[in-house]
Structure 1
Amino acid sequence: MQMFSLDGRVALVTGAGRGIGRALALGLAEAGADVVCLAQTGAEVEAAAREIRAKGRRALAVTADVTSREQVTAAVEAALAALGRIDILVNNAGINIRKPALEVAEQDWDRVVETNLKGPFLVAQTVGRHMCAAGYGRVINVASVGGAVALRTGVAYGASKAGLLHMTRILAMEWARFGVTVNAIGPWYFRTPLTEKLLQDEQYVAEILARTPMRRIGDLKELVGPVVFLASEASSYVTGQALMVDGGMTIYGF
């Protein structure tokens, strides 16, 4: 089981203040990593960092907007100055604006695509320079089943996540020779602050469960294992892949 240990590694997790990002930051810390928690919400990201420190790991809270190159550069420089290296990147920050395609305003499209696609690229590019120079790295992009099949989550969201999956493949192809792997996970529905309101709609939940072979909503802890695997030596010969963590949903789509 030593192959799954992250002892001595440093991870940077974007969107680490709440929901999936927070769960993954804590899970990486439990697997042995020191963690840089990055988000726009200062109080939340600091709370996540405190919880990691309570587990005996080093943690740094950084407030930054992933769509700003200047802020991303400053955040990565702060992380390197504080912890000396970044071995693992989890690109998790993302948003959605749910509207039918005919009602999507240009600013809606720009906001979703900038956060979900431009942001992960800026962070991956900035961190990737250091990983490629070091000859080692694990990049994990948090995409969505919505990037693989058509969902009612909206055209901008689906397009951004599809783009993120393809970006994963291209970065994997380019960076493999430097010892850097790039993979993605594709979650289905998990209980988070962002999905809480949707999951209060009993009819909508019934439709979700009818299209999920496991017939249940995912638990956040069920995302930790896949990410620890992709961050560890256990996945050393895996790159350019998308692991759908979806209870079987993408077997037949939604």
Structure 2
Amino acid sequence: MKKLYLAWLICLMAFQVSAQQRWVTGVVADTNGVPVVGATVTVKGGTNGAITNSDGSFRIEASDSDILVFKYLGYDEQEIQVGPRTRIEIELRESAHQLDDVVVTGYQTISKERATGSFDIIDKAQLEKPSGSIASRLIGSAAGLVGTQDAYGNPVFEIRGRSSLSTSATEPLLVVDGFAIEGGFESINPNDVESVTVLKDAAAASIWGAKSANGVIVVTTKNARSEGGGKSLGNG
């Protein structure tokens, strides 16, 4: 009877140890060893999460039995059980997943099904049209995105139906690789652009707040992986 009790006690202690949460660190890279910036790392079925920083590093709270889910736009999703490890290095492989299936908000990447409000994803063929600027390629590319020219012949945009908090500013907020920028599209090399998403009403306000009163144009460049910093989600 005593041996049975001891065996039960050992099993109970082992279960408690495996269930204890601890900090797990690691690095996410691509198949070439380049750090993947902005990849999401979440605990499957839980609320803890993190986003990789400029070194591809992450830090998340998890237990032995937890399964970590690694996601990044254009790469295959991967899952791995934590086990006894305190550090995990993972390699993400590029996938054939198309940008047409997702909405890039400038803060996160979500599926079309989960996106709220009104948005338009600019067609890839439109972005690849011959032109000296990305702004010229956007003219006539989305419903409600009205393109005109200023006194200097530069394209300026207005999202029809949006009301500005300021009587002088009607242009939408421009976000490039997760950062709101001032000025126009002049600093963006059109050949570097990977995707463009136009966010309207709730889709813009829920993420960018009052400064998105005129909508948001989100530009993601092809080298976005090598820039930016980390953000944390949930409790991670």
Is the pair's TM-score, using the shorter chain for normalization, greater than 0.5?
A: no
Which structure: greater helix fraction?
1
- TM-score, normalised via structure 1 length: 0.28
**Which protein is bigger by CA-based radius of gyration?**
2
